[in-house]
Structure 1
Amino acid sequence: MAKRVLVTGGAGFIGSHLCERLLKEKSEVLCVDNFFTGSRANVLGLMDNPNFELLRHDVTFPLYVEVDEIYNLACPASPIYYQRDPVQTTKTSILGAINMLGLAKRLRVPILQTSTSEVYGDPDVHPQTEDYRGRVSITGPRACYDEGKRCAETLFFDYQRQHQLPIRVARIFNTYGPNMHPQDGRVVSNFIIQALTNQPITLYGDGSQTRSFCYVEDMVEGLVRLMACETASMPINLGNPVELTVEELAMRIVALCNSRSAVTYRPLPQDDPTQRCPDIGQARERLRWSPKVNLDDGLMRTIAYFETRLSGASPLLSLSMRAAS
C-alpha cells in the first residue's frame, strides 16, 4: 500500500521538487501551501498525477488529515519575503510547528522539520557543526526567521522527549535550482537574471563573504534519506561543503551566461553573515549522503530554467528585470 505523505510548503522551491521525488517513489502526496511564496506553476506538471493532491491552507491554523509521514517546509525562506511580514514569519515557524507536531502526535507518524543554517547566525565557528549554538541577533531584521526556526527546533525536540514522537530536523544551507522564485532576492537567482538580461550584477559589501551552494536535486535526496533514518536524534546539516565567495559566484555566472554585465557594489545588509559553510560529517556518516552535482552543472541547469522563463515573458520576471534596471 502506498504511503500518504504530507508536504507543507509543497508548492515552494524545494517543496515542489520533493513532491515530484515522492511521486516517483509511488507515494501519495498531499501538497499544502498558502501560496505566499509558493506557486501553482511549480506543481503544474504534477496535477495530472492521480497520487497528487493540492490543498490551499495556512499552517498557522490546524490541519486535520490522515497521512503516514509529514515534511514541514512551510515558511518563507527569502529575506525579501520573510522581512515583508516578520510577525507572520515568526507565527508560521512556531504555530506551524505546533500544528504539524500536533498532527504527527495524533497520528503517531514521523515528521521532518526543515530548519536552516540561519540558526547559526553570523558564525564564529567555521565550518558550522551541528553542536555549534550560533551567534544570532534576537532583535535584528533577520531575527523573525532565525529565531522562529530556532524555536521550532526546540518544539520538535521537546515533542520527542515529552511524547516520544519520531522527529527529524534538517538544517538546510544555501540551495539553488529550477523553480526558484525570480524575485526572492537570493544571490543565485538575482545573478542569473541580471546576467541573462545584461543588467549590472549587484554585490552587497565587497563580495568577499562566503557561501556554499547545494543543487536542489541533492538537497531532496538528503531530505528523503533523513526521513528514512530512524536513528537521527539530532539536527543534521544538509548542504554543499565547497565554499566560494559571492564575488566568485557572480563571475562564474557571468561567464556561464556569456553576459556583458558589469558588477556594482552596495552596502551589506544588517546581520548578513560573513561566512556560511556546513560541516556535513553527520550526514555522511548517518545518511550516507553528500552532494553529487557540481556547481557549474547545477548553475547551467538553473540558467536554462530561467532562460525558459524569460522567453515566456512571465510577469514575475518582467517585474524583476525592471527592478534590476
Structure 2
Amino acid sequence: MASSPTSPTEAVDFAHSGRRAFAVETRGLEAVAARIDGAFSSACALILAGTGRVVCTGMGKSGHVARKIAATLASTGTPAFYMHPGEAGHGDLGMVTDADIVLAISYSGESDEILTLLPALKRQGNQLLAMTGRPGSTLAAAADVHLDVSVPEEACPLHLAPTASTTATMAMGDALAVALLEARGFTADDFARSHPAGALGRRLLLHIGDVMHTGEEVPRVSGDASLGDALLEMSRKRLGVTAVVDDDGVLLGLYTDGDLRRTLGDRSVDVHATPIADVMTRNPVTIDSDALAVEAARLMETRKINALLVLDAGRRVVGALNVHDLLRARVV
C-alpha cells in the first residue's frame, strides 16, 4: 500500500528558519553598528542645527521604516513627519519649507519617486540626509550626509524581501533619535508632554488637583460634631472618609469606614452622643495638591489606605480623593 505524501509543513523546521532569520539580522545590525562614525555624528549635528522639521520619505518597505523613524523622532524632541514621495510630486511637496531637512531612505539609492524630488528640494535649499545600502548610488551622491545601512545579506532566503536591511535602517533611525534625545537633554517629563493620552503621560502629568474632589464635594465636619454627624456626612459624600476641621478649615483629624468598623466593635459607643474627636484618627496621612496623582496611588498602596485628604500649606483641607478616583483617571 502506497504511503501518503509528506505534507509541505512536515518538511519544514520552522524553529530553525526563525533562528536563522534572527542570526542574519543580528549580523546585519552588527555590520551597520560598526559604521557608526563621523557621518553619523554629522547627521546628528545637521539635525540639531536645523530650525525646521525632519521630513522623512521613502517608498515601499523603506516608506514604512521612514514613517516609524518620523514617529520616533517626533516623540523624542525632534519635530518630524512622513511624506510619501509619490504624493510629494503631485502637491505634497508644498508641506516642505526651506528650513526643513529631508531624510530620504532607499536601500538601492535609485528609487525613481525619490530621485524625481531631488531637483526641487535642491532648488528650495533643503539639506538632504540619505540612508542607503549603496554608497555609490545616485541618492547617496546627492546627499549632504549619507548613512550607509548596507547589510551582508537579507534574512529572506530568496534575497528578495527587505528584511535585515529594513531592520538595520530602522535601528539607524533609532540610533539617531536616541543620540539627539541625549544631546537635547530630553527628559521623561518632555516625553510625557507629547504622550498625554498614554499611561506614561498620565503618570507624569496628572496632578492631585486634576482628580481630587473640591468645594462642597469634600466631606468635612467640625471638631465638636458627633459620631452620628460624621456618619451622615460620609454617607452624603460617598468617599468613605470625612475630614474633621476647626473653624478655619484646618485639619484636626480623619474618620474612615475602617474607623467605623473598629468603633462599632465597642458596644458601649453611643453613635449620637460620642464626639467625633474621641474616635477620629489624629495626624492622618495627607497629600499636597501639587503632588502627582501617581504619588497618591503609591502612598495609598504603601500605607494600605483607600482615601486621602488634600491640604494646602496652612494645613487647610482643600480636597479629597479615593482609590476609585485614581482608577477613573487610569492612574492605577
TM-score (norm 1): 0.26
Indicate the structure (1 or 2) with the bigger Cα radius of gyration.
2
- Decide which structure has greater helix share: 2
TM-score (norm 2): 0.25
